[in-house]
Structure 1
């Protein structure tokens, strides 16, 4: 009845009545009602206001009633620091408890923590045993992870053909991350004949399922024709970069922005790059404020754009970000060309007064751009060789006067393979 109220099925939608019904059922000992209510509070679904404290309360009630996945949900909250500090030890305990009470999700997450040694000792053999258990309980993601265990010899004897078989089982069950893995193995000829076209099709399947890693690899391949003998398709690559930027993951937006700002494999599109960098910056994605400033300054900035770029520079400098401090203290050709009004002497004095070794190191790295052995700058983009991330433009700072749980993804910006539930 609670779901009818939430969905407005056969009765007007009434969130308050739905919650009251869940509460009554949970109080009467219905474990599923307690967990369902907790899920709604945790994710803020169906009109229920997100409330992690109430989610925890009702997961605990469901746990008391014997609901194994509720135990795992509490473990996930502990691992990720939802409604409290991160506690990997408690997460590991709860995952094992949930697994031992029949949860496939718990078995998979416990295996992951055993594999990486999070919350306790590393145990790859135990990880493989629990991952098999998760597979037996129908966890699609566990099929893919078991494939990786066979591929990399994690707790099992290395067996590429078994890895492929498990990746295929997971892909057949619509696991898009497994499709990406198959794309990699097919493209690289690992355990099978090298087939670039087939690899691209696996990436396409993953991309069409909404997988960010699949979109990245498909767009890269379509743009650069890195797959031998497979022609490029620039218009399709552009479309996939835009689709990538529209996913829920701001890291994807940053990846698309990098490609569109660089203008090598696909035509330069600074306006779209700016839009996507702004999305990434708003989500606090690392190393995106600097290319945002550079993109703004490269796009024939007017007075408003110059003021916007300067505002970002000052905000970031005041937060102690070395690249911004360096740019303000020693403006490079890009800033000079944009005619930003900066009191460089004042900023050099601030840099001279710095005492934080990390900030000083970051400033030094930024100022080293242009020096041999540290970075090589070319018109239209910077190639960084000394630890700096690739950035567009001719440099916003000059040389100083005196000198994911388990993750995977593509090379430039990586995206974790999610295991949230």
Structure 2
């Protein structure tokens, strides 16, 4: 099968992802050609497949360059991904201030991932003056747009009363929504609430789901919290998390 993406076409992101699922190597060639013709969505996806090494040789320097080109073309997600490259030093020097600038542009465009990453920088004061009120507002907007990770962090701000009045009832609702939307940290937060309320059976189910989806940093940070739990069944999950971490 051949693909022909022209500059004047509107290329749907789902269409491009479908092309990659069907034949990564062929799709990568078509995406490369379309990117060279100025199709902004193809430029963005080319940056992503270069970052991941999917259907094409992994090249972080080129990935960063294509994200920059797509950002110049007006792609909010490209601004977000260029921000990630700058934040983490992928494909070049780390520049936190520039990362913040690109996250801010993506956030101002209403992109949920841009809002989330911008909020993270504001909340931690990395590359920008710390602004918990700004972080809370950005997390809230992204959460209201359905961003699962932001739902969990909005819940954390509400639980602890960071830049807002503490409201555990609302925090609990956001944890539940985050868990249901598939965020493993939200699943853990929701499980912690359930365990404290004595609903241990349901809590264990969510802890298992978080265990399956969580990355190494999450597993490592979760073990001490599990070990401090009041219920022995919850404490027992710490060993499951430790085993999974060791197998990674």
Task: Report if TM-score (shorter chain) is over 0.5.
Answer: yes
SS of residue in 2 equivalent to 1:71: helix
Change (3 A) 1:174 1:19: closer
SS of residue in 2 equivalent to 1:138: coil
Note the alpha carbon deviations across 1:366-402, whole angstroms, 9 max, x for none. Answer: xxxxxxxxxxxxxxxxxxxxxxxxxxxxxxxxxxxxx
Q: For 1:13-412, list aligned pairs within 5 A.
A: 15=25, 18-46=27-55, 48-187=56-195, 189=196, 193-210=197-214, 213=218, 227-228=230-231, 230=233, 241-247=242-248
How far 1:231 moved relative to its partner? 9.3
How many residues align structurally? 233
SS of residue in 1 equivalent to 2:84: helix
Structure showing the higher helix proportion among its residues:
2
How many angstroms apart in 1 are the aligned matches of 2:203 and 2:171?
A: 16
SS of residue in 2 equivalent to 1:125: helix
In structure 2, runs of 5+ residues without a counterpart are 5-15
Note the alpha carbon deviations across 1:240-274, whole angstroms, 9 max, x for none. Answer: 54333223xxxxxxxxxxxxxxxxxxxxxxxxxxx
> Would the aligned equivalents of 1:91 and 1:119 in 2 still touch at CA under 8 Å?
yes
> Would the aligned equivalents of 2:64 and 2:90 in 1 still touch at CA under 8 Å?
no
How far 1:29 moved relative to its partner? 3.0
> Would the aligned equivalents of 1:219 and 1:240 in 2 still touch at CA under 8 Å?
no
TM-score (norm 1): 0.49
Mark the structure with the bigger radius of gyration: 1
How far 1:18 moved relative to its partner? 3.7
> Would the aligned equivalents of 2:44 and 2:78 in 1 still touch at CA under 8 Å?
yes
In structure 1, runs of 5+ residues without a counterpart are 248-421
Change (3 A) 1:157 1:211: same
| Aligned-residue RMSD, C-alpha | 3.1
Change (3 A) 1:120 1:229: closer
How many angstroms apart in 2 are the aligned matches of 1:202 and 1:163?
A: 17
How far 1:201 moved relative to its partner? 3.3
Change (3 A) 1:54 1:202: same
Relative contact order, CA 8 A, sep 6+: which one is greater?
Answer: 2
> Would the aligned equivalents of 1:216 and 1:244 in 2 still touch at CA under 8 Å?
no
How many angstroms apart in 1 are the aligned matches of 2:224 and 2:126?
A: 34
Change (3 A) 1:185 1:237: closer
How far 1:119 moved relative to its partner? 1.0
How far 1:102 moved relative to its partner? 2.8
How many angstroms apart in 1 are the aligned matches of 2:112 and 2:104?
A: 11
Change (3 A) 1:41 1:231: closer
